[in-house]
């Protein structure tokens, strides 16, 4: 019925109405729920026929109201128009039949200029539309188009019209060759599922085109009436101009398919779907409807991959078409490196935010399945699918349903990530392990650290290549049993090990000693080798700080006032003043060093470690997925590194700080030698007095020994004073350099450290720059 109406309009010369009807009927077919379209079309056609009959019968015949025409006029052409109320009657005459004669002459002229009939050209155009050479229209390899033979004598207008119609054959040839090539590559397994779906959709469009050609071929057998002939002729004949009307819409579709073929020739998967989607952004409803129908077929495999990934964690991508790719990695690197987004395969109708959420959802499933050996994700995925609705069933999602896809991904991600966080915090006690690392690797367990440093100190003072790791491991176990660390969970204590870092021939045990915390699957996803390397760097820094504090405590035990008063040299009048002066300078230097170390250590332990831990603990509890947890931990670790002057921007000041530490350790070493010498002189004095009682009663020998001891003590105290001058000068210079660099640091918390160290502005006043 639709073809009958279209044919009637075209045969009556209403080509524009025929095209409009074809457009309206296409919309009715694809956008209406009316089932009995034949009855509707028949009704509309009957109404139109009745209206035409009633209009033709209502026109008054020109007879009685007109004067008689002369009998000498053999033929007349009348055109009249009248109005029932005061209308005007118009009459025109063609007494010599000029119009009919002109039409006949024009037909004869056309026949003389044409060597081939229009019917033959129509048949050739129909052949060409199927990619087949006709008798007069053939494919020219040089021009890559179908051309009418140059030797034929046809009017220029006819040649132009045939060339325009033959463009359809060129487009058809391009589309058909692409389909054939895709089928051949499909056999060779070089075309993916998206490419197969695209080729299949194109083939279906060509099938509809074949049906139209079959109808047109049936009409082409009807002879075309001669121009100027007034004899009765059939209305369903097919001329070149009528063929142009019929092929106008197929030409648009074929041109679209040819453009898509050129765009997608070297593409596959998501890249192909994105390219087709880009061409669908068009204002013409017909183009939008055609591209939408094509995209629903093309994107079906892609959306099935998304559904399988976010609900099952399966990545079935044999032809590498999906925008998520996997690569073989170790178990501990599965989350960070196992999967990534392939941006070239990400279609433009899926946003980068949605793509990241899709990636994380599938990663969470695989992390739970592989690293955590947990199957609870299946229930969470099923609940998400049931919550979103029936569109999540296999094959349910498709192009144009991005909102439904996003709803599915969001719901699945929320439930699966919540389950993952429960497993990480509950089954694997992530927070407890982070706290254990803080207590042992970041030296937060004070009694354990102090006892460990006391018992390993003698061992670590030896060359590094002479120290036994087994002996240090035994000392570590001793420190655990002697401190409150013994009450910790055994699983945590078993992870604590001694590690000797790489060292050279001149290194001491203090330089290479480190504690190591063993993080097993799945916690090694957070505590990777690079992360533990940063922890070891922080431990090495804190260990040096603790060593300096420990050294100053040892010096204080040596130079405390009661030990000095009990020294026999303090009772000798000849050296008493010099002795007390030197020891007083030693205590002043110790106080300066202790002030710096105490305040700096308080800043590190409280302003850095404790504040960073409090923020990390809050972010840890608020983390909704593993990415949030990893980001919070990286932020926590980065905060410690930056505030502790271990960052890249603090390389200069940290070197100055280590020089300060070296001066303090040198002071401790010199203090040990000084008081060892003092005790030696004291013992020599006691020995001299004992011998004097046995050898002589006069005391002359004792007086000589006493003078000699006083001379030695004077020389020693003089040398000790000179050493103190050098140490005080070097230490003050390094401290001034350190304090002057603090205002240049980027982190705001370092201003608080500057205030604690120089709250009286004592160093600022002494600084040369001031």
pLDDT 10s digits, 448-470:
999 998 899 888 888 888 888 88
Q: What is the 3-state secondary structure (H, E, C) of 623-641?
A: CCCHHHHHHHHHHHHHHHH
pLDDT of amino acid 691: 54
Q: Is the pLDDT of residue 621 over 90?
A: yes
At 397, phi and psi to the nearest 5? -80, 150
Residue 453 CB neighbours (<10 A): 20
Confidence of residue 250 (pLDDT cuts 50, 70, 90): very high
Confidence of residue 430 (pLDDT cuts 50, 70, 90): very high
User: What gap in Å lies between CA 758 and CA 614, rounded to an integer?
Assistant: 27
pLDDT of amino acid 235: 66
C-beta of residue 668 within 8 angstroms of C-beta of residue 554: yes
Q: Is the pLDDT of residue 767 over 60?
A: no
Least confident of 46-50, 501-505, 658-662, 704-708: 704-708
Region 381-409: mean pLDDT is 74
**282 Cβ neighbours under 8 A, 6+ residues apart:** 288, 291
- Look at 105 and 375; give whichever has higher pLDDT: 375
DSSP, residue by residue, 492-509:
HHHTEEEEE----TT-BH
Confidence of residue 60 (pLDDT cuts 50, 70, 90): very low
Confidence of residue 223 (pLDDT cuts 50, 70, 90): confident
Q: Is the pLDDT of residue 78 over 60?
A: no
Q: Is the pLDDT of residue 321 over 50?
A: yes
C-beta of residue 126 within 8 angstroms of C-beta of residue 216: yes
**548: burial class by Cβ within 10 Å (0-12, 13-18, 19+)?**
buried
Give whole-number Cα distances, 66 to 84, 87, 422, in Å: 15, 14, 102
User: What one-character DSSP code corresponds to residue 145?
Assistant: E
Q: What is the 3-state secondary structure (H, E, C) of 318-386?
A: CCCCCCEEECCCCHHHHHHHCEEECHHHCCCCCCHHHHHHHHHHHHHHHHHHHHCCCCCHHHHHHHHHH
Least confident of 19-23, 153-157, 765-769: 765-769
Region 97-126: mean pLDDT is 71
pLDDT of amino acid 708: 64
Q: Is the pLDDT of residue 66 over 50?
A: no
Region 147-164: mean pLDDT is 86
pLDDT 10s digits, 694-717:
544 444 434 545 566 667 767 777
- Look at 8 and 106; give whichever has higher pLDDT: 8
Region 619-627: mean pLDDT is 93
C-beta of residue 95 within 8 angstroms of C-beta of residue 106: no
Q: For residue 301, give the nearest of 282, 281, 320, 287 by alpha carbon.
A: 320
pLDDT 10s digits, 540-583:
999 999 999 988 988 887 776 555 555 555 556 666 677 778 88
pLDDT of amino acid 422: 94
C-beta of residue 645 within 8 angstroms of C-beta of residue 654: yes
What pTM was estimated for this model as a whole? 0.72
pLDDT 10s digits, 331-342:
888 999 999 999
User: What gap in Å lies between CA 487 and CA 436, rounded to an integer?
Assistant: 12
- Look at 754 and 478; give whichever has higher pLDDT: 478
Q: Is the pLDDT of residue 207 over 50?
A: yes
pLDDT 10s digits, 364-378:
999 999 999 888 888
DSSP, residue by residue, 642-704:
HHTT-SGGGHHHHHHHHHHHHHHHHHHHHHHHHHHHHHHHHHHHHHHHHHHHHH-SS-HHHHH
Region 282-303: mean pLDDT is 87
Confidence of residue 114 (pLDDT cuts 50, 70, 90): low
Q: Does residue 522 have a cis bond before it (omega within 30 degrees)?
A: yes
**164 Cβ neighbours under 8 A, 6+ residues apart:** 244
**730 Cβ neighbours under 8 A, 6+ residues apart:** 663
C-beta of residue 109 within 8 angstroms of C-beta of residue 157: no
For the record, the structure tokens of 583 come out as 């020891």
- Mean pLDDT across the chain: 81
Q: For residue 215, give the nearest of 16, 34, 22 by alpha carbon.
A: 22
Confidence of residue 689 (pLDDT cuts 50, 70, 90): low
Domain ranges of the chain: 2-55+104-229+236-262, 299-427, 429-527, 545-628+646-766
Least confident of 318-332, 535-549, 622-636, 699-713: 699-713
Least confident of 407-411, 511-515, 658-662, 678-682: 678-682
User: What one-character DSSP code corresponds to residue 289?
Assistant: H
User: What gap in Å lies between CA 767 and CA 320, rounded to an integer?
Assistant: 66
- Look at 562 and 205; give whichever has higher pLDDT: 205
pLDDT of amino acid 672: 78
Q: For residue 196, give the nearest of 269, 98, 94, 270 by alpha carbon.
A: 269
Region class of 645: left (phi > 0), else alpha (psi between -120 and 50), else beta: left
Region 723-741: mean pLDDT is 89
- Percent of the chain at pLDDT > 90 equals 33
β-strands 137-140, 145-148 pairing: antiparallel
pLDDT of amino acid 558: 74
Beta-bridge mates of residue 139: 146
User: What one-character DSSP code corresponds to residue 608?
Assistant: I
User: What gap in Å lies between CA 279 and CA 554, rounded to an integer?
Assistant: 80
**454 Cβ neighbours under 8 A, 6+ residues apart:** 550
User: What gap in Å lies between CA 225 and CA 234, rounded to an integer?
Assistant: 8
Confidence of residue 764 (pLDDT cuts 50, 70, 90): low
pLDDT of amino acid 546: 92
User: What gap in Å lies between CA 173 and CA 130, rounded to an integer?
Assistant: 8
DSSP, residue by residue, 168-180:
HHHHHHHHHHHHH
Q: Is the pLDDT of residue 98 over 80?
A: no
Region 3-29: mean pLDDT is 81
pLDDT 10s digits, 20-33:
888 788 878 776 67
Beta-bridge mates of residue 524: none
- Percent of the chain at pLDDT > 70 equals 81
- Look at 659 and 557; give whichever has higher pLDDT: 659
Q: Is 514 helix (H, G, I), strand (E, B) or coil?
A: strand
Confidence of residue 474 (pLDDT cuts 50, 70, 90): very high
Chain centroid, CA 717 distance in Å: 70
User: What one-character DSSP code corresponds to residue 154?
Assistant: -
pLDDT of amino acid 557: 79
User: What gap in Å lies between CA 137 and CA 634, rounded to an integer?
Assistant: 72
């Amino acid at each position: 019925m639709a073809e009958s109406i279209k044919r009637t309009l075209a045969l009556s010369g209403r080509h524009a109405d025929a095209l409009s009807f074809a457009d309206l009927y296409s919309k009715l077919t694809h956008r209406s729920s009316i089932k009995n379209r034949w009855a509707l079309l028949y009704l509309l056609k009957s109404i139109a026929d009745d209206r035409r009959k009633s209009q033709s019968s209502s026109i008054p015949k020109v007879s009685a109201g007109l004067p008689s025409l002369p009998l000498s006029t053999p033929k007349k052409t009348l055109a009249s128009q009248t109005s029932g109320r005061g209308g005007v009657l118009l009459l025109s005459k063609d007494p010599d039949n000029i119009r009919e004669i002109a039409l006949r002459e024009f037909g004869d002229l056309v026949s003389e200029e044409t060597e081939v009939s229009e019917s033959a050209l129509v048949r050739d155009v129909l052949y060409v539309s199927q990619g087949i050479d006709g008798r007069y229209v053939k494919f020219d390899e040089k021009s890559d188009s179908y051309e009418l033979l140059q030797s034929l004598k046809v009017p220029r207008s006819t040649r132009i019209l045939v060339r325009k119609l033959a463009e359809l054959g060129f487009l058809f040839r391009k589309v058909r060759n692409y389909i054939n090539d895709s089928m051949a590559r499909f056999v060779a397994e070089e075309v993916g599922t998206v490419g197969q779906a695209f080729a299949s959709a194109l083939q279906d469009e060509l099938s509809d085109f074949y049906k139209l050609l079959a109808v047109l071929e049936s009409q082409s057998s009807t002879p075309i009436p001669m121009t100027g002939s007034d004899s009765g002729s059939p209305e369903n004949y097919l001329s070149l101009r009528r063929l142009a009307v019929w092929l106008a819409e197929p030409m648009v579709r074929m041109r679209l398919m040819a453009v898509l073929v050129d765009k997608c020739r070297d593409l596959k998967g998501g890249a192909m779907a994105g390219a087709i989607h880009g061409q669908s952004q068009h204002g013409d409803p017909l183009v939008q409807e055609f591209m939408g129908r094509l995209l629903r077929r093309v994107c079906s495999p892609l959306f099935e991959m998304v559904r399988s990934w976010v609900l099952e964690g399966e990545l079935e991508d044999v032809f590498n078409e999906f925008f998520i790719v996997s690569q073989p990695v170790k178990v501990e690197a599965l989350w960070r490196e196992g999967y990534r987004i392939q941006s070239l395969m990400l279609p433009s109708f899926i946003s980068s935010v949605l793509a990241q959420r899709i990636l994380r959802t599938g990663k969470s499933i695989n992390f739970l399945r592989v690293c955590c050996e947990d199957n609870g994700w299946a229930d969470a995925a099923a609940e998400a699918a049931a919550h979103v609705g029936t569109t999540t069933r296999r094959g349910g999602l498709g192009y144009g349903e991005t909102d439904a896809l996003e709803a599915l991904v969001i719901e699945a991600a929320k439930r699966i990530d919540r389950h993952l966080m429960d497993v990480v915090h509950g089954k694997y006690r992530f927070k407890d392990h982070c706290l254990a690392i803080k207590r042992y690797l970041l030296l937060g367990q004070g009694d354990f650290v102090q006892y460990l440093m006391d018992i390993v100190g003698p061992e670590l003072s030896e060359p590094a290549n002479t120290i036994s790791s087994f002996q240090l491991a035994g000392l570590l176990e001793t420190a655990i049993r002697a401190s409150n660390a013994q009450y910790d969970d055994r699983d945590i204590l078993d992870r604590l090990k001694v590690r000797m870092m790489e060292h050279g021939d001149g290194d001491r045990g203090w330089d290479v000693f480190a504690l190591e915390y063993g993080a097993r699957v799945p916690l090694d996803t957070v505590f990777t080798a690079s992360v533990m390397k940063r922890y070891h760097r922080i431990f090495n820094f804190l260990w040096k700080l603790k060593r300096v504090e420990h050294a100053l405590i040892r010096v204080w035990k040596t130079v405390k006032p009661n030990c000095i008063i009990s020294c026999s040299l303090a009772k000798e009048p000849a050296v008493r003043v010099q002795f007390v002066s030197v020891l007083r300078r030693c205590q002043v230097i110790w106080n300066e060093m202790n002030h710096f170390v105490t305040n700096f250590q308080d800043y590190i332990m409280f302003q850095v470690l404790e504040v960073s831990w409090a923020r990390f603990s809050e972010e840890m509890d608020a983390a909704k997925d593993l990415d949030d947890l990893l980001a919070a931990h990286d932020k926590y670790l980065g905060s410690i590194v930056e505030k502790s002057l271990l960052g890249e921007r603090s390389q200069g000041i940290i070197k100055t700080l280590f020089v300060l530490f070296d001066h303090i350790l040198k002071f401790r070493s010199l203090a040990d030698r000084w008081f060892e010498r003092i005790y030696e002189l004291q013992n020599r004095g006691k020995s001299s007095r004992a011998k004097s009682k046995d050898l002589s009663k006069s005391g002359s020998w004792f007086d000589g020994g006493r003078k000699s001891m006083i001379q030695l003590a004077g020389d020693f105290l003089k040398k000790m004073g000179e050493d103190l001058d050098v140490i005080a000068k070097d230490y003050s210079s390094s401290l001034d350099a350190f304090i002057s660099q603090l205002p240049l640091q980027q982190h705001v918390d370092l201003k608080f450290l500057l205030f604690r160290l120089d709250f009286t502005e004592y160093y600022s006043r002494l600084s040369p720059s001031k």
